[in-house]
Amino acid sequence: MENSLPKHIAIIMDGNGRWAKKRFMPRSFGHRAGAQTLNKLLKEADKIGIEHITVYAFSTENWTRPKDEVNSLMNLLREYIDDYIKDNETSNIKIDSIGDLSRLDEDLRNKINTLKEISSCKKGLNLHIGLNYGGRDEIIRAVKKMYGELKSGSIKESDINEELFSSYLDTNGIPDPELIIRTSGEMRLSNFLPWQSTYSEIYISDKLWPDFNIKELNKAIEHYKNRDRRFGGR
Ligand code: IPE
Ligand code: IPE
Ligand code: MG
pLDDT for the residue numbered 201? 98
Mutate to test the pocket of ligand 1, among 11, 18, 32 (most ligand atoms within 8 A of CB): 18
Check: CB of residue 105 under 8 Å from CB of residue 160.
no
Closest ligand, as measured to the CA of 15: 1
**What span, in angstroms and rounded, lies between the C-alpha atoms of 12 and 8?**
13
What pLDDT score does 193 carry? 99
**Predicted local confidence at residue 163, as pLDDT:** 98
Q: How far apart are CA 67 and CA 45, in angstroms?
A: 33
Closest ligand to C-alpha of residue 192 is: 2
| Residue 13 in contact with ligand 1 by CB distance below 6 A | yes
Candidate of 58, 62, 76 to mutate for ligand 2, largest count of ligand atoms within 8 Å of Cβ: 62
How far is the C-alpha of 208 from the C-alpha of 184, rounded, in Å?
4
Q: Is the CB of 73 under 6 A from ligand 1?
A: yes
Which residues make up the environment of ion ligand 3, defined by Cβ < 5 Å?
Answer: 14
Nearest atom, ligand 2, residue 190 CA: 14
Nearest CA residue ID for atom 13, ligand 1 = 17
**Looking at residue 33, what is its pLDDT?**
98
Residue type, 69: E
Q: Which helix (H) or strand (E) holds 18?
A: helix 16-22
Tell me what pLDDT residue 234 has: 84
CATH superfamily of 8-225: Decaprenyl diphosphate synthase-like (3.40.1180.10)
- Cα distance between residue 133 and residue 8, in whole Å: 18
122 within ligand 1 shell (Cβ under 6 A): no
Compute, in degrees rounded to 10, the torsion defined by CA atoms 77, 82, 83, 85: 130
Ligand 2 atom nearest the C-alpha of 130 is 6
CB 168 within 8 A of CB 98: no
Does residue 72's CB lie within 6 angstroms of at least one atom of ligand 1?
Answer: no
| Ligand 2: residue whose CA is nearest its atom 12 | 190
Does the predicted TM-score (pTM) go above 0.85?
yes
For the chain, 234 residues long, give each residue's pLDDT as a single digit of tens: 899 999 999 999 999 999 999 999 999 999 999 999 999 999 999 999 999 999 999 999 999 999 999 999 999 999 999 999 999 999 999 999 999 999 999 999 999 999 999 999 999 999 999 999 999 999 999 999 999 999 999 999 999 999 999 999 999 999 999 999 999 999 999 999 999 999 999 999 999 999 999 999 999 999 999 999 999 998
Q: Write the CA distances from 14 to 160, 193, 196, 209, integer angstroms.
A: 36, 15, 20, 5
Pocket of ligand 1 contains residue 135 by CB under 6 Å: no
Catalytic residue numbers read 14, 62
- pLDDT at residue 74, as a whole number: 98
Domain range list for the chain: 8-225
Cβ(138) – ligand 1 distance below 6 Å = no
Which ligand has an atom closest to residue 31 CA?
Answer: 1
